[in-house]
Amino acid sequence: MAPIRERLRSRRASFGGLYAGNARAVIERGFRVIRNQNWGVIATGFFEPVFYLLAMGMGMGALVGSVPGPDGRPISYAMYIAPALLATSAMNGAIYDSVNNVFFKLRYSKLYEGMLQTSLGPLDVALGEIFMALF
């Protein structure tokens, strides 16, 4: 088994200039942004399903009335759609965080261009952004 340094050297050589081995710098930047701007994510993640529930559950629920539940007993329309709204909100939050943030950083703030002017390579930026999208 080769020592760790030799394995890292061969790994970096195989990717050439694409990977500088410093994806943690992108991850650290992401955590600093989350620490300073976390209120927006929490606010949108909370208010989006509440507004949907008010619009669909109360607004459309007044027109629909009650619907039969899984066991046949009638339940309100708001209780009927609440699990679907929760799943939709989770999906929208994940999509927004991984797609729209990357688009904004790429198109408008030109953040990736600034990162690539440093010692970071494209794979460092990609790995850091993928990790932050999963976090």
Is the residue at 2 inside a domain? no
Is the residue at 6 inside a domain? no
Full residue range of the structural domain in which residue 77 is found:
22-134
Does the global pTM surpass 0.85?
no
Q: Give dist(CA 61, CA 107) in Å, integer.
A: 41
Give the pLDDT score at 8: 56
Q: Which residues of the chain are under the pLDDT cut of 50?
A: none
Is the residue at 75 inside a domain? yes
Give the pLDDT score at 16: 63
Give the pLDDT score at 34: 82
Is the residue at 5 inside a domain? no
Give the pLDDT score at 54: 87
Is the residue at 7 inside a domain? no
Give the pLDDT score at 108: 94
Is the residue at 113 inside a domain? yes
Our count of domains for the chain comes to 1
